[in-house]
Copies of this chain bind each other. A is one copy, B any other.
């Protein structure tokens, strides 16, 4: 398989999609999701892990707010992964991740994930290439364990352009409601854009047993539609049923 180049994939919504039509469709999908989540929780057979990856300002937080907040919070958990604590760094990289995988009936969202351990850590050369390969293999093993245990794993890469990122990062310095998100390290990270793209392309190739979904994310309305639709379709495929009364 030849490697997928992110530069060859548009970050914008395809022209054939109309913003207002899609927003209305998303609203309908969210209603369906509400019912499907209830069924997921009641049946207690499957679980869902949603992995959100993307560059700074690619819209991970917005996706969580707009797609998942209409759902019953009893059945949805969000876990952000930031730089490891000293205790986390004293264990293998999947130790802290594994603790947060969803129980049966639950939808778990990872805001960043175990993939950072082969992205930021690799781009900054905090780990050597042998460790990168070991970790990629461990990720594949780990995701198979989850799949064996009836966990549906949906991995989204929120694909934005370098220009869209720069604009959004600049907004954080100007809009009082966004300043709290400003981090002066973000601009330094943004300069590593090309290295991050290469690291992501490698991830899509090497950790693809459970396939990645690349979401054009310059337009939030399109991004939210794709995530909601993918989740809805995945849940429908499970052919879930409400349990009857115990005999």
Contact with B along A89-106 (1 / 0, CB 8 A): 011111100110101110
**Minimum CB distance partner of A106 in chain B:** B90
Instruction: Give residues of chain A (123-177) contacting chain B, Cβ–Cβ below 8 Å.
Output: 134, 138, 141-142, 144-146, 148-149, 151
**Minimum CB distance partner of A91 in chain B:** B103
Residues of B within 8 A of A44 (CB): 90
Would you call A94 and B145 a contact (CB within 8 A)?
A: yes
State whether A95 and B98 are in contact (beta carbons under 8 Å apart), knowing that A87-B103, A103-B87, A145-B141 are contacts in the complex. Answer: yes
Copies in the complex: 2
Instruction: Among B91, B141, B146, point to the contact of A101 (Cβ < 8 A).
Output: B91
Would you call B103 and A149 a contact (CB within 8 A)?
A: no
Bound Cα distance from A103 to B93, whole angstroms: 11
Chain B min CB distance to A235 (Å): 18
Bound Cα distance from A134 to B141, whole angstroms: 11
Residues of B within 8 A of A98 (CB): 94-95, 98-99
User: What are 12 A-B residue pairs whose CB atoms fall within 8 Å in the complex?
Assistant: A44-B90, A91-B101, A91-B103, A92-B145, A95-B98, A95-B99, A134-B148, A138-B148, A141-B141, A141-B142, A141-B145, A142-B145
Kindly list the 10 A-B residue pairs having the minimum CB-CB distance in the complex, ordered from nearest.
Answer: A141-B141, A92-B149, A90-B103, A98-B98, A90-B104, A138-B145, A134-B148, A92-B145, A91-B103, A99-B99
